[in-house]
Amino acid sequence: MKKSGILNAQLIGCIAALGHKDLFMIGDAGMPIPKGVPIVDLVLCGGVPTFRQVMDAILEETVVEGYTIADEIQEKNPELLAYIQEKLAGAEEERIPHTELKAMSANVKFAVRTGEFTPYPNIILRAGVAFPA
């Protein structure tokens, strides 16, 4: 039995299957996920788990070389934007309108739904490469 890190079998399986440049998404409880995109639904209730809790756990398991977020996050959720930029310092950032982010989500390998209820906590991540030490 796995004893640390992500223990959710579906989520860790999705992460393990990522290849270089694959896209995947972390979204809030209300983010519409396009038909056909596998969903790892972690929502328990409003606010549980938070976007930050899920993002922190995923970043412990995954190399991210770039990400895409909605333009609207700067005005509507600057605190979360600062957290994202701190956690993904060094990764390439792209901002697009939220409507385009929703359309782009049709191209992700999987989507993780959190219990987050704050504005615009949706991100599409691009997998990087882990080089052995």
> Rounded to 5 degrees, what are φ and ψ at 15?
-65, -45
* Pair of tokens at residue 59: 């970043």
**The one catalytic residue among 5, 17, 20, 107:** 20
What is the signed CA dihedral for 52, 23, 112, 122, rounded to 10 degrees? 50
Is residue 28 annotated as involved in ligand binding?
Answer: yes
Class of residue 125 by CB neighbours under 10 A (exposed 0-12, middle 13-18, buried 19+): buried
Q: Is 38 a catalytic residue?
A: no
Query: Residues marked as binding?
Result: 28, 98
Q: Which residues are annotated as a binding site for substrate?
A: 28, 98
Q: Which residues does the annotation mark as catalytic?
A: 20
